[in-house]
Amino acid sequence: MSKFTNDDLRKSIKESLNIGEAETLDESYVAQEKTFNLPTELLSVATKKNHIELYDQYVKDFNRISAELDTVDRSAANSNHSQYRSLKIDETYNLNAVYLHELYFANISDLHSEIPMDSLAYMRLARDFGSFDAWQNDFIACALSNRCGWAITYYNTYLKTYVNCFIDLHSQNVPFGTYPIIVLDTWQHAYYRDYLKDVKTYTYGMMKQLNWNIIESRFEKAEGVAKAIRA
């Protein structure tokens, strides 16, 4: 069976919401669910299954919100309360949830995790944090500091350097100029079933199985972004 295109998905979502083509702006974005292989034994089968189901729901919710935004009454928008304002807040929340989960799933669960000292990832982290160990310690501190959210190493397009940050939920405390490189989910659903409140042990485990091949490719793209900004 052939996979739906974005246009097919957009049409299907709008039909389910009884949104006619004649009354749409046709500007809605569509996210498609991706498949991830998570061979790690540091997370239980139940945790993996639950987490993938949560991700799938974020995709569905984002697509629904995006379709509803096509026909919302923009003339009624205001900063106190309006359907447009509510939908835009939910759009950001669910879009970030989709993107962050995809980055997280892709950069964990490498059973043969190894980072060469001559890799771009190692050299940039050592350069911008003083040492690779200093990056690890700061990243762990971010993981322990957020209130259900994410720990992220990112390229900051303003500072022109690699920085760690934490994001609460999916859309609070997000720095401007963020190009994400390494992403760790520290919502309780990511670890509670297997580690209870011990987010530190969970964080150490995930960092021992970071997929440095995936991360290396992200550093290469970030260097391209940095070069483009300097041009």
Q: What is the tens place of the pLDDT at every residue in 185-230?
A: 999 999 999 999 999 999 999 999 999 999 999 999 999 999 999 8
Which percentage of the chain shows pLDDT scores above 70? 88
Phi, psi of 43 (to 5 degrees): -120, 140
Q: Which of 72, 106, 140 is the last residue of a domain?
A: 106
165 and 213 together in one domain: yes
135 and 93 together in one domain: no
Which percentage of the chain shows pLDDT scores above 90? 87
How many domains, in total, are found in the chain? 2
Whether 94 and 61 have beta carbons less than 8 Å apart is answered as yes
Please indicate, yes or no, if residue 112 is contained in any of the structural domains: no
> Is the model's pLDDT at 104 over the cut of 80?
yes
> Is the model's pLDDT at 1 over the cut of 50?
no
Please indicate, yes or no, if residue 114 is contained in any of the structural domains: no
Domain of 154 in residue numbering reads as 120-230
Please indicate, yes or no, if residue 84 is contained in any of the structural domains: yes
Please give the single-letter amino acid code of residue 7. D
Please indicate, yes or no, if residue 115 is contained in any of the structural domains: no
List Cβ neighbours of 135 (8 Å cut-off, separation of 6 or more).
Answer: 125, 126, 128, 129, 153, 164
154 and 187 together in one domain: yes
224 and 124 together in one domain: yes
